[in-house]
Amino acid sequence: MKLSELSEGYRQAAIPLREKLRLLRLALKTADDPQRRAALRHEIALLAGILTQCRELAELTAHYYERGFWRNDNYTL
């Protein structure tokens, strides 16, 4: 399997993450309890980071073998 074939998997993994983030943001708008709001903010921050990584990896793996493609410094050795 080539890295470029993994790109679609990362894109598909991002779909439920986006939906979960949308639901968490809606819950944050209606939450009254300060502890609940803090917990929701924390979960949103974690999932947003994971979603960002999915997007970056989808882009990296889609174009990995292309000459001249700038690779993200977070994913190089």
Per-residue pLDDT of the chain (77 residues; tens, 9 = 90+): 778 788 999 999 999 999 999 999 999 999 999 999 999 999 999 999 999 999 988 988 888 777 776 666 666 64
What CA–CA distance (Å, rounded) separates 39 from 45?
Answer: 10
Buried b (16+ CB within 10 A) or exposed e, 23-50: ebeeebeebeeeeeeeebeeebeebeee
What CA–CA distance (Å, rounded) separates 3 from 61?
Answer: 5
Residue 59's pLDDT is 87
Residue 15's pLDDT is 97
Residue 20's pLDDT is 98
CB atoms near residue 58 (< 10 Å): 19
Q: Write down the pTM of the prediction.
A: 0.81
